[in-house]
Structures are given as structure tokens and as C-alpha cells.
């Protein structure tokens, strides 16, 4: 009997060891895919880098003429000739030939989510880690009813406005669509159906509606997305006239995060304010009152008013000094990375777009378009053919602090200036970046990410002493600088209108 008990005990121990080893291997495999980058050595107080005692701290980095051109371009996209409320622009979009028309592009986009005959790295998974069936996609496609996009023309009754903050979607569904988490930069939070945020108060045009009326496809100033129909309201001529008239006089931006916006008329909370939101404004000696849209029982937008705390709102354009940039950035530093503005956090592109909006500067939504002179006022220098040392030297010698957007292929960051290196005494001065990033790639391990996952001040080093295998931004195949303070003559007149293929890009 003792031999039997000993055998059972030994077998049980072996079984426990097998289970433990399997768990350890599985855990280590997961841990190897994602690890955390230590941030304790990188000072995240911006005034420790950008000294208020520096004479340039209060000096504008744009001339009044440059800032006026940028503000005109911003207004042009929200309320002018490229606005969702502009009849000529909407008709221009509807006039695109096949295969660049709305129906063809939408059908192509929907079909791109199929799992049929797809390679392993393009299989789409749901939140339950199971691949989506064709039935799932067919249900969405049937609900869209592509025939509604066949022939369209501008209809003033389809003008609308966002009444709350909205997470715009590529398809009319709340369900996420992930590629395998074992692929670097995929899995949560990289939902392929997440487009970007549409802030409350954003002008819209309704392009279509699902058959169940739950979702509306809308044209926003930066992109086209599906939104919940209950999150928008129609606008009539009277609303538009008052909204535009006030916006022409004063336009205000929210300058902090999660600001409670309460209407004066009913003392009701309407939505949270975030940096980069724009509203027509009325000025008073001691406060700024903003116009906000509220939906009535008939689905029409009515103009109400709100008075955010004076420290959380400002008339745009705010003067672009290092002091004012530092004040806004300090509110953003450390905020969680939000792919496609998920949960109303920022990804790399929306971080810069929202930041620069406060200063009256229009940036496109997608990172690649933010360095395109056809989409944004400025000029670009391509250093992709240069080595890492040459890039670093050029950036420090020719970069324009606060006015240089750096594009490295799928990611953008802001160049703030050159400052003493807090880590490497061999490099007394380093270029400093501000960015919101998911993580750093690892050489020879494309599936791995070393996580940052937030907005951060990060020196652009040739390599990072915490892990020499990390790929620095300076080492990326693409390295382009875009100067927002170098505006070619007549640039806004030469810029192309945004097309459907640009606006529908996921």
C-alpha cells in the first residue's frame, strides 16, 4: 500500500510540475511579447527642460502673418470651403468617378474585413480571441445597404453636428476587430474598426444611414466615419447662420482635459471638454461663454451656452510661445495612449492635432498626412536616406523647436529643442521630443514591444542604455521633418481638397 501511495504522490508531484512549467512557459511567452520601458530616468516635468528663465520662453515661434494663415486654414476646414457644411465641397466628393466614388470605396473597405482567403497575419479576431465568421461581416454589409450611396447630391437637411464626444468607427458596429496579439503592434488596443474621436460641436454631413437607423455615416472635417445616430443632431439654416457668425467673431478651444461642460440654461452636464475642442465663443470681461449644441425631441440641434472655468478655455489662436506650449503639454503628459482616440485618449497623430489646434494650426488626422504639404501648411525635408548620426545632427542644427513635426512611418512626434542629456555624458546636448506612443520596437524581434503607452517627453538617443536592442526613432527607415513655420506663398490656394479616398482611410 505504501508503494502505491508513494507512486500516487510522485505522479501527483510530476503532474503539478508539468502544470507549473506549462503555466510558466505560457506566462514567459506572453511577458516576452510586452515589457515596460523604465521612465524614472526621464524627467516628465516640462519646465525642468524648457526653462522659464530663458529669454525665448515668452517669445512667439510664429510671426503674426504665419499664425493668421494657419488660423485661416483651420477655419477653412471646419467652417469654410472644405467644411462638411459647404455645398460645393460635398458635391465635389459626390462627383468622384468609379472606383473613387463613395459606394465603391465603402464596399472595398467592408470587404477588406473578410477572413476568407486571408494570410494568417490578416485574420481578424473578436474580443473573445475567435476569428470572425463571414456571417458577421455579411450582417454588417447588409445593414449598410450600399445602394444608398449610388447617386447623391448635397442636401442641406443632411447637415448635422456632434452633440457629445463620439468614437468614430470604420464600420457600423461597437465590436472590435483585432489581428493576432502575437503579431507585434497588434491585438488590444489596436482595434481596426476604431477611426478617431469626433468632438462635441464638430460640424458634420450625413452621408448615409444603416437600415436599422442605429448608425449614421458622417463626413467630419478630418475624416469619414460611422457614428451612433443618437450622438448627432440635424442643423437648419438658422442654427448654421448663428454658429458661423459667432465663430467668425470668436473661436475658443478647451485647454485642459475632462472639463465639465454644463449648459447655462438648465444647469445640466452635457459632455466632457478635452484639449483641441473648438466652439464659437462670446467674450465677457471675466469669462468666455461658448456655444454648445443640444438635441431636441425632434432630433434638431439647438444652441445653448456654457461657461467653462476661465483657466480651461482660451480664444484661439493662443500665442505660440514656449510658455504656452509648455502649459498645454503639461496637462497632456502621462495620459494613457489611446489608439484611434479610444476612450478619448490620444494616439500619436491626435496628440499633435489636438495640441496644435489650440494655437490655431490645422493638422490632418492621419500621421502620414500631417507631413504632407498638400494637406497641411508647411514644408517637408526628407532625411530617410541619411544615417542616424546625420539625422540627429541635422535635427539639432536645423530643427525648429515647437514647429517641427517628425514622421518616422506610421508615427509622428514633435521636436521641442535640444537640451542637456540627463543620461549620457558623452552627448552633452540631445534633441528632445514630445509624443504619445505605444512602445519601442526591438531589433530582430518584430513581435516584441517595450511599452511606454502614454504621452511622454523623450530624448531622441542613438540607443537607450536600458536596452541596447531597442530601435531608436532615429533608426527608422523613414525620417521626415515638417516645418509648420515655413509656409510657401499661396500655399492654401495650391492645396488639394481632401478626397473620399483620403477621408475614408482607416
Report CA Rg, the chain.
Answer: 25
Better-predicted residue by pLDDT, 6 or 455:
455
Nearest to 113 by CA among 151, 144, 152, 150: 144
What mean pLDDT is predicted for residues 230-246?
A: 98
Cα–Cα distances in angstroms (integers) from residue 109 to residues 26, 98, 101, 127, 168, in the given order: 36, 14, 12, 21, 15
In a domain, 71, yes or no: no
CB atoms within 10 A of CB 270: 18
Do 276 and 423 share a domain, yes or no? no
In a domain, 72, yes or no: no
Do 366 and 489 share a domain, yes or no? yes
Between CA 497 and CA 131 the distance in angstroms is 38
Do 441 and 474 share a domain, yes or no? yes
Q: What CATH number does the domain containing 412 carry?
A: 3.90.1720.10
SS3 (DSSP) at 491:
helix
Nearest to 180 by CA among 111, 115, 249: 115
- Would the pLDDT of 190 be above 70? yes
- Would the pLDDT of 1 be above 80? no
- Would the pLDDT of 3 be above 50? no
Quick one: what percent of the chain has pLDDT higher than 90?
Answer: 87
In a domain, 68, yes or no: no
- Would the pLDDT of 8 be above 60? no
Q: 300 lies in which domain range?
A: 241-315
pLDDT at 428: 81
pLDDT at 254: 98
In a domain, 222, yes or no: yes
Q: Give residue-wise pLDDT tens across range 289-329.
A: 999 999 999 999 999 999 999 999 999 999 999 999 999 99
Q: What is the dihedral of CA 61, 66, 68, 70, to 10 degrees?
A: -90
SS3 (DSSP) at 457:
strand
| pTM tops 0.75 | yes
Q: Which residue has the cell 476569428?
A: 131
Q: pLDDT confidence of 393, banded at 50, 70, 90?
A: very high
pLDDT at 151: 86
Q: Give residue-wise pLDDT tens across range 26-59.
A: 334 445 788 999 999 899 999 999 999 999 999 9
Do 386 and 441 share a domain, yes or no? yes
Looking at the DSSP bridge assignments, the partners of residue 458 are 433
Q: Give residue-wise pLDDT tens across range 327-371.
A: 999 999 999 999 999 999 999 999 999 999 999 999 999 999 999
Average pLDDT value for the chain: 92
| Final residue of a structural domain among 284, 315, 346 | 315
414 with 433: CB under 8 angstroms?
A: yes
Q: How many domains does the chain have?
A: 4
Do 372 and 450 share a domain, yes or no? yes
Q: Which residue has the cell 472606383?
A: 99
In a domain, 73, yes or no: no
Q: What CATH number does the domain containing 274 carry?
A: 2.30.30
What mean pLDDT is predicted for residues 255-273?
A: 98
pLDDT at 424: 60
Do 179 and 216 share a domain, yes or no? yes
Between CA 441 and CA 251 the distance in angstroms is 40
Cα–Cα distances in angstroms (integers) from residue 35 to residues 21, 324, 336, in the given order: 21, 34, 16
Do 247 and 161 share a domain, yes or no? no
Do 333 and 413 share a domain, yes or no? yes
Do 385 and 286 share a domain, yes or no? no
| Final residue of a structural domain among 249, 282, 315 | 315
In a domain, 267, yes or no: yes
Quick one: what percent of the chain has pLDDT higher than 70?
Answer: 91
- Would the pLDDT of 15 be above 80? no
pLDDT at 495: 62
In a domain, 74, yes or no: no
Q: Which of 17-31, 72-86, 192-206 has the lowest mean pLDDT?
A: 17-31
| Final residue of a structural domain among 233, 268, 299 | 233
Do 163 and 263 share a domain, yes or no? no
Q: Give residue-wise pLDDT tens across range 81-103.
A: 999 999 999 999 999 999 999 99
Do 495 and 452 share a domain, yes or no? yes
What mean pLDDT is predicted for residues 491-503?
A: 74
pLDDT at 80: 97
Q: What CATH number does the domain containing 147 carry?
A: 2.30.30.40
pLDDT at 12: 39
In a domain, 248, yes or no: yes
Do 106 and 213 share a domain, yes or no? yes
What mean pLDDT is predicted for residues 246-264?
A: 98
Three-state SS annotation for 82-129: CCCCCHHHHHHHHCCCCCCCHHHHHHHHHHCCCCCCCCHHHCCECCCC
H helix or E strand, kind and range, residue 18: helix 2-33
pLDDT at 493: 45
Amino acid at each position: 500500500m505504501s508503494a502505491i501511495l508513494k507512486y500516487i504522490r510522485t505522479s501527483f508531484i510530476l503532474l503539478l510540475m508539468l502544470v507549473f512549467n506549462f503555466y510558466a512557459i505560457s506566462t514567459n511567452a506572453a511577458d516576452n511579447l510586452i515589457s515596460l520601458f523604465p521612465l524614472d530616468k526621464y524627467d516628465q516635468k516640462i519646465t525642468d527642460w524648457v526653462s522659464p528663465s530663458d529669454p525665448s520662453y515668452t517669445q512667439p515661434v510664429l510671426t503674426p502673418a504665419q499664425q493668421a494663415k494657419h488660423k485661416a486654414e483651420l477655419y477653412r476646414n471646419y467652417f469654410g470651403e472644405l467644411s462638411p457644411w459647404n455645398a460645393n465641397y460635398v458635391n465635389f466628393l459626390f462627383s468622384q468617378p468609379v472606383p473613387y466614388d463613395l459606394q465603391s470605396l465603402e464596399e472595398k473597405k467592408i470587404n477588406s474585413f473578410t477572413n476568407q482567403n486571408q494570410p494568417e497575419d490578416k485574420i481578424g479576431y473578436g474580443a473573445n480571441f475567435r476569428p470572425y465568421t463571414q456571417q458577421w461581416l455579411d450582417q454588417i454589409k447588409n445593414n449598410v445597404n450600399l445602394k444608398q450611396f449610388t447617386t447623391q447630391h448635397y442636401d442641406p437637411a443632411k447637415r448635422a453636428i456632434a452633440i457629445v464626444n463620439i468614437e468614430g468607427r470604420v464600420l457600423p458596429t461597437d465590436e472590435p476587430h483585432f489581428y493576432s496579439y502575437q503579431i507585434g503592434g497588434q491585438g488590444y488596443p489596436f482595434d481596426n474598426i476604431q477611426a478617431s474621436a469626433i468632438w462635441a460641436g464638430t460640424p458634420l454631413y450625413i452621408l448615409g444611414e444603416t437600415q436599422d437607423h442605429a448608425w449614421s455615416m458622417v463626413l467630419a472635417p478630418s475624416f469619414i466615419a460611422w457614428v451612433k445616430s443618437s450622438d448627432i443632431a440635424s442643423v437648419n439654416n438658422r442654427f448654421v447662420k448663428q454658429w458661423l457668425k459667432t465663430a467668425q467673431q470668436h473661436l475658443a478651444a478647451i485647454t485642459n482635459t475632462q472639463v465639465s461642460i454644463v449648459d447655462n440654461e438648465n444647469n445640466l452636464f452635457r459632455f466632457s471638454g478635452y484639449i483641441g475642442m473648438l466652439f464659437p465663443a462670446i467674450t465677457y470681461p471675466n469669462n468666455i461663454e461658448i456655444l454648445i449644441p443640444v438635441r431636441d425631441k425632434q432630433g434638431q440641434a439647438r444652441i445653448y451656452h456654457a461657461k467653462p472655468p476661465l483657466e480651461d478655455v482660451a480664444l484661439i489662436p493662443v500665442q505660440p510661445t514656449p510658455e504656452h506650449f509648455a502649459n498645454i503639454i503639461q496637462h497632456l503628459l502621462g495620459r494613457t495612449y489611446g489608439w484611434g482616440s479610444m476612450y478619448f485618449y490620444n494616439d500619436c497623430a491626435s496628440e499633435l492635432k489636438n495640441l496644435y489646434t489650440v494655437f490655431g494650426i490645422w493638422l490632418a488626422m492621419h500621421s502620414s498626412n500631417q507631413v504632407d504639404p498638400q494637406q497641411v501648411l508647411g514644408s517637408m525635408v526628407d532625411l530617410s536616406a541619411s544615417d542616424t548620426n546625420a539625422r540627429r545632427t541635422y535635427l539639432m542644427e536645423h530643427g525648429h523647436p515647437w514647429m517641427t513635426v517628425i514622421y518616422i512611418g506610421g508615427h509622428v512626434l514633435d521636436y521641442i529643442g535640444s537640451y542637456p542629456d540627463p543620461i549620457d555624458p558623452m552627448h552633452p546636448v540631445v534633441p528632445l521630443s514630445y509624443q504619445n506612443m505605444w512602445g519601442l520596437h526591438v531589433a530582430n524581434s518584430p513581435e516584441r514591444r517595450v511599452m511606454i503607452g502614454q504621452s511622454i517627453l523623450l530624448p531622441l538617443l542613438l540607443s537607450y542604455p536600458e536596452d541596447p536592442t531597442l530601435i531608436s526613432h532615429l533608426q527608422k527607415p523613414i525620417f521626415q521633418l515638417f516645418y509648420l513655420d515655413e509656409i510657401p506663398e499661396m500655399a492654401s490656394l495650391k492645396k488639394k481638397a481632401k478626397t473620399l479616398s483620403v477621408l475614408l482611410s482607416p
